[in-house]
Structure 1
Amino acid sequence: MKIFIAVSAGVILLAASFYIATVINNFTSENAQIQTTAANRVSIELQKNILITNNVSDYVSENTQRIDNIESYLKNNPSEYAEYCLNHEPYFNWPDTSKDFFIKNPTLQKIEIRLMDSNKEFQATTQNTSGRIVNTKRKNIHNMLYSSIINPQQETVVGVVGAQFNDDTIKETLSQLENTRHMQVWALTEDDRPVFQYFDKNVTQKEKDLVKKAIDRKQTKNIPGFVENVRTVDNEYRILVLYDKQALNLILINRIAGVIAIAAIILFALFVSFMAIFDHYRKQLNLIISTTHAVSENDSEARIDTTDSRFEDLTILSNSINHMLDEINNNINTIYKLRIAQQEAHMKSLQAQISPHFMANTLEYIRMSALDIGASDLAKVVYNFAALLRSNVSSQVQTTLKKEAKLVGNYVYLYQVRFPDKLAYQIVIPKELEQVKLPKFSLQPLVENYFIHGVNFAQNNNALEVKAYLKDKRVVIEVIDNGKHLNSQELEKINKKIKQPIVSDMSIGLQNVYARMKNYTKNFAMEISNNIYGGITVKLSFDYEI
């Protein structure tokens, strides 16, 4: 029965998914087709208007006499211009010519002519086809196409022709397309100046403002919240056909809602049937839940009744839980015993601390006595040893780079006292890195490693340097000695060893340093290598943060 229900649900979901995928695919194709149609129609209309604009500019640019004539029109009063026309052959009157352009091109609504050297411009409209002279704006305006006036002798741009057209016809054509998608159509120049806009009746002012703002910012590629189709015209204009994504999603949801509803009803019916068939199964589950709840309420003896074995999987689960509860009880008893043992160990640890504290106080007394008798060198040795002892006794797990460097200095000094003129050392910590946090005893084991494996007090040239510096926002600490080199196999082995997890008390000091620094710092790295001084360099680095 379970298999039948599962197979039935799978078939229903598969069929619904296939139908929904088909609807989505058809819807996507439909959107693309409408966008393509809109772009094509606007492109055709735009190319016609561009041709008319170019015809006007070509006509003016055909010879210098026409350009000079228009320049005279802009500079002189009507009587002076009339006299100019009469005195120049062939006769040419620009206002009369302007009328002809409006007659020949019914969609033409406005003509502007600006010359570079003039602060006036010519404007003609369908209401005044002979035109008038106005002060020039020197700025291209929206919804107007422009074409350059070129002096045919000098082949230089001397002015510009602007033309505006009636777009009611193309807008009516676009409105006959599917108009529930919040469609916007924009025609833009190369510098994103709009020369045509269309909005279907459902486009909101907010949607218009979003697109206009994107155009003003020259960010017309992939405008957020819109599905976009781009068409290029004459390599100078772009046509954007935009759909509002939310509107598309709403349409798509409405189309597939019925299928989803039917599938949901059928699946719900299957679920109800499943619940009715496996009522006993739920009862057994409830018994398991109630038992685990009783255990959580401190009833450690509660167990699941496994006498009903009709459901093999639940029986196995119940037996496993019962076995787990038995193991938990055993573990609780074990942990209780271990906790008592731990408390006893803690007491012993407190007792053990009495001796180090007593020793530190005694050393301080010895140091003061040495100072009293003038044995300053002895007092300094006792002071450094006492400082090391106090660091060991301290329960702090974190310190600063400054304090850690001082601890290392105390440690090395004790060796230097024992072997005078055999050892030279230097510790350099920049002031800006003194307060960098790191685990206590992070550097001392590295220095101790040198004294165990690298130093040779039979020689007089033993040297050790500990330095820190800041590089690429990372703290770098180097412990450099002139002990002895390791071969490539030994270096590879030890660099690999230090990065392995610590699984016992037998870890090496370097491994312990790596593990603690890895936990306390960010992006920690540690590398051991041979250096040019004949010894070893241990390099630590991590992100800089105070």
Structure 2
Amino acid sequence: MNRFSRRNTSLRSLIRTFSWLTTAVVVFVVGIASVVRVQNALSSSQQARTIAVSEMGNQLAQHQQDTDQFAAQINDRASNLANLMQYFSQSPANYAEYAIDDSLRGNQYWYWPREAQNMMIQKDQITRIVLTMAASKKVFVATRDDKMGRLYTKYTLANALVATSPLTNPYTSIGVGTLRMTYDPSIVTAQLRRLHDTAAMQLLVFDNDGKQLWHYQGAGVGSASQQAVQKTVAATSSDDLARTLKPRYFVQVGNVSTGGYRVFAVVARAAVYAQIGQNIALYALLGGLVLAILLTLLRLIFRRYQHALTVMVGEMQVVGAGHLQERVTIPARNEDLQILAKGTNKMLDDINGYIYEIYQLKIDQQDAHMKALQAQINPHFLYNTLEYIRMAALDADQPELAEVVFSFASLMRNNTDQSPVTTLGDELGFIEKYVYLYQMRYPDRLAYQIQLAPALAELRIPKFTLQPIVENYFAHGVDFHRRDNVIEVKAHPVGDQQVIIQVLNNGRSLGPERVTQVNATITAQPLEQPQSIGLQNVFARLRHFFGPGATMRLANRPGGGVMTTILLPRQKGVAQRDESRDHR
């Protein structure tokens, strides 16, 4: 009793020690995970702002470069600026005549609406082209819907990605106008949405004069936060905007050298801290749940573990003494011991099964040996008997009967031959004898034709490739009440690489759904070892012998009947010839 008490006390102490260690480990892991999550969240937010500013800056630089290049094309010649003044001062018809007359005077033909149209076609990101001239109060505007544009008396751009470039007289260096091109922000918006940690981000773009051009809000930005940022922008210059926003927001500023743009990436600190707090709370909840489960399982396992293990060891000692029929008791609650007990019992079942299989295999081998001896004796006796009948028919002056006996004996010899491969010529010879027996049975009701290109006579194919197809005709398609039953077998090369074999008959046709079903069945993967040499088995053996290049399909003939087409890759070394021979 004292020993049991000490053992019980030791077990409780061990459980208590393991409980404290487990609690310490879980708390430590949750603490480390929380610290790492805070650092990762801040770093990820910083990285997202940096990438967003960089991506936006690259897009703005590219837009400004495209705008400057188009302005440079306009500034290239003074005649272009003069041409523009004519466009702003004349009617469209008069301007068109002016452009033509100007080209006749030796200048290059230059038609401003067409130039604007070409630019919008070349750069599909451009949404508007806005052109103003210092000497005119009108504004030219081209859009995606009106690429050649028109003149307006007043036009205002608001909250758009605008790139501006001046038009300067190349001789006087005096500014004569301004070119503005707006760009589709959807590309930048899509890029921002694909980035991680941009849901709570706002992106502000300012031009060189400090005017706000564009404001982007992530999916997680509320209207209150958006309005607060806009209110700060309205009351603060772009130079002081970052300093004003930083107490409540994480701010990343980027300056774009091309065009003088400034980009602000703004994320509310409260949103970042709230996300961090949610993650820490989740970690703490998971840690507490895991700790509770571990402590509970620890107590349950130690309570029954020792007893269950003692029982299992005793039963395994009995099995080890040679009593293979015994089995280990499976514990009720110890999962690891359940796995061990089930594995031991399965091993014992397998050992007994292997013993039985080895014994049964010896019996099956003896039976197979006896059947092989019988197969060697019985066919040989049958061939001798058929040959005796054929010779007797010849002696009785019955050549047709002798031919029938000879054909039947040949069929029997071919069927009992264990060789898995034959030649196309031998296969067709076997088919001819098979059909000949039906023709002798039903004279004047069946005709047949076999065509074989001599170059394919030695083509090696799996045995019984064509016989099941011909047999299907006599089993399902032929009608011996008719006198015009016909079956044809044709084999000829297709080019240098392929061979086509066709089996055609004029018997019963199949419905369209049945043809589709049969073709699907032929090419389907058999779920088990086939028990007959049907069409599915024929196709499987062709694929195994020739590879994936072998195909087989059924179709209805236009005049009635069924046609089976087999396409095979041609073996190397078989000469190609055009002659064929007929067997009737």
TM-score, normalising length: structure 1 = 0.45
Higher relative contact order (CA 8 A, sep 6+): 2
